[in-house]
Amino acid sequence: MTLTVDAAARTHVGRVRRRNEDAFYAGRSLFAVADGLGGHVAGDIASATAIEAVRAYDRGAKSADLPDALGQAIAAANESLRNKIKEAPELAGMGTTLVAMLCSEESAALANVGDSRAYLLRGNTYRQITEDHTYGNLVADAGGVPALAERITRFIDGRADGRSPDITIRSLRPDDRFLLCSDGLSGVVSNNVVRDTLTSLSDPGEAADHLIALALEQGGPDNITVVVIDVTWSAE
């Protein structure tokens, strides 16, 4: 028996935005969500460029090499944005968040830059396993400062001044279910409702569809992207 990974990804422009500035990738061993920054130049180009760069790293890697491989993927995404801006200077200022998961054997590496998130449902426990890079997580009493808590402190924009990702390594277990998402979901649908959806719908595609629908029911104020990733046992 061996561990296998099955995933489903969905994205929706939402009910307010005119264009979808989210992008995603769901491959064999690599899964990622990028959210182009609202109010910045060409957020859709930034997210698509980042995803196109990281997808090249959907290839076999040993468990011990996962953090380095995923770190190289994030660096490649940043370099791709830098090159894109060199080719088209009017794109200067574009940026994107990125959360990614790279699997091999019985391990996974997770990387995030910004406030797109990864969650893990393991048994009856559901929790966020990435940390948002926002001022709210850095500044004491940030909740009392208007518009501060939600401001992003770290993102990918082609520069090389401290925008490195957080990278962690995790052991995979049969029946683990991971969720990668943009804040178009996490910002409007409560953790309890998301957990209930992931618990009650066994098919990852059905779960992804329902999560999109839940965000739309809450007004869909932002683009919505979800990747549901299931870890299962299968015969070799």
Q: Residue 117: which pLDDT band, with cuts at 50, 70 and 90?
A: very high
Given a cut of 70, whether residue 140 has pLDDT beyond it is no
- State if pTM tops 0.85: yes
Given a cut of 60, whether residue 147 has pLDDT beyond it is no
8 A C-beta contact, residue 143 and residue 163: no
Given a cut of 90, whether residue 173 has pLDDT beyond it is yes
Distances, alpha carbon 142 to alpha carbons 37, 133, 146, 186, in Å: 21, 13, 8, 19
Average pLDDT, the chain: 90
DSSP-assigned beta bridge partners for residue 5: 231
Choice among 36-45, 188-197, 208-217 with the minimum mean pLDDT: 36-45
8 A C-beta contact, residue 116 and residue 182: yes
β-strands 30-36, 166-171 pairing = unpaired
1, amino acid identity: M
How far apart are the C-alpha atoms of 226 and 9, rounded to whole Å?
Answer: 6
Helix axes 191-200, 204-217, angle to 10 degrees: 150
Distances, alpha carbon 27 to alpha carbons 45, 62, 181, in Å: 21, 17, 16
DSSP-assigned beta bridge partners for residue 36: 96
Given a cut of 60, whether residue 3 has pLDDT beyond it is yes
* All residues at 6 or more sequence positions from 203 whose CB lies less than 8 Å from its CB, including other chains: 8
Given a cut of 70, whether residue 146 has pLDDT beyond it is no
